[in-house]
Amino acid sequence: MNELDQLHINFSPQGLNILNAILSLVMFGIALELKKEDFVALWKNKKSAIAALVSHFILLPLITFLLVLILKPSASIALGMILVGACPGGNISNYFTYLAKGNTALAVSITSISHLLAVVFTPFNFSFYGNKYAPAANLLKTIHLNAGEVFQTVVLIVVLPLVLGMLLKHYQNSFAEKIVPYMKKFSLTAFAIFLIAAFAANTKIFADTAVVILPLVIAHNSLALGSGYAFARLLHLPLPDIKTITFETGIQNSGLGLILIFSFFNGLGGMALIAACWGVWHLVSGFALAKFMSHLS
C-alpha cells in the first residue's frame, strides 16, 4: 500500500464542526440569491440547463475515471479525484461566471439544483467509479462506508440550508436581500481562513506531497474546465451559456468533499490532500479563466 494511503491529515472534531457550519452558511447564502425569475429562465432555457447537469454529473465523473485509469495514482489519491469529480458545483462558480460575462442567472440556478441532485449523484458516482478502479476498490473494502450516513450528511449540510434559505427568501424577501451581501462575504472569508488554518496545521505534509498532488489537481481541473467548454460548444449553445457550463463543470464544492473525507474516511491522506489542494487551485484557475473569457464575444 502507498504511503499516502496510510497517511491521515491532522484535523480535530471541532474543526470538522466548524467546516460543517461554514458550508451550511454557504449553501444558505446561495439559496438567498435565488429568484422565481431564475427558475422561469431555467425552464425557458432547458437545453443549456440539461447540458450543464449532464456535463457535471455524467461527463465529469466519467472523464475523471478515465484520467485515473491513464495516470494510475495510488488508491487514496484516486478516491480523492473521484470524490471531487462527484461533488456538486462550487458556489464561487457563480462569481467566475459573472466575471466572464456568462449567464449568471443560469449559473446560480444550476449550482443550487446540482446541490439538491448531489444527494443521489455524489454517493452513486463515487461508489460506482471508486469500485471500478482495482486499487481504490481494495481500499474501500477496508473502510466501513455507510451510504445512509453519507446521504444524511449531504441532506443536513447541503439540502436543508438550501431549503431554509429559499423559504426565508419566499416569506421575508426584503430581509433576505439585506443580508445576502454579508452572508456571501462572511462565508467565503470564513472558508478561506479555514483552508489557510488547515494548511498551516499540516504544513510539512502538504510541502512533502505537493510535487505529487499539485500536478494531478492541475491536470484534473484543467480537464474538467476544458470538457465543460468543449461539451457546450459541441451543442452550439450561446456563448454566455458556454462560459457558464465551463465553470459549472470545472469548479467543484471541495468543501463538501473534505467534510465527507473527514467524516467517513478519517482524513485519509491522498483523498484529503486532493480535495484541499483543489479548493485552493480552482480559485487560481477560475479567476484566470474568467478574466480571459471576459474578452470573448
Alpha-carbon radius of gyration of the chain? 18
Lowest mean pLDDT, pick from 2-11, 58-67, 201-210, 215-224: 2-11
pLDDT confidence of residue 19: 77
Q: Residue 268 pairs with which residues in a beta bridge?
A: 8
Task: Tell me 265's DSSP state.
Answer: S
Given a cut of 90, whether residue 250 has pLDDT beyond it is yes
| 15-24, 141-150, 158-167 — most confident range | 158-167
Run of H or E residues at 248: helix 239-250
The CA-atom distances, in angstroms, between 126 and each of 53, 123, 190, 224 are 17, 5, 28, 16
Residues comprising the chain, all counted: 297
Cell of residue 265, nine digits: 474516511
pLDDT confidence of residue 62: 97
Confidence (pTM): 0.86
Task: Say how far apart CA 153 and CA 290 lie, in whole Å.
Answer: 32
Given a cut of 90, whether residue 227 has pLDDT beyond it is yes
Task: Tell me 90's DSSP state.
Answer: P
Helices (H) and strands (E) in the chain, counts: 16, 0
Number of domains in the chain: 1
101: left (phi over 0), alpha (psi -120 to 50) or beta: left
Given a cut of 70, whether residue 4 has pLDDT beyond it is no
Residue type, 156: L
- Using an 8 Å Cβ cutoff, are 224 and 252 in contact? yes
For the domain that residue 189 is a member of, what is the CATH number?
A: 1.20.1530.20
Task: Say how far apart CA 129 and CA 238 lie, in whole Å.
Answer: 32
Given a cut of 60, whether residue 1 has pLDDT beyond it is no
> What domain range includes position 268?
3-293
Nearest one of 47, 161, 158 to 103, comparing CA atoms: 47
Task: Say how far apart CA 211 and CA 215 lie, in whole Å.
Answer: 7
Count Cα neighbours of 49 within 13 Å in the Cβ-side half-sphere.
17
Count Cα neighbours of 40 within 13 Å in the Cβ-side half-sphere.
3
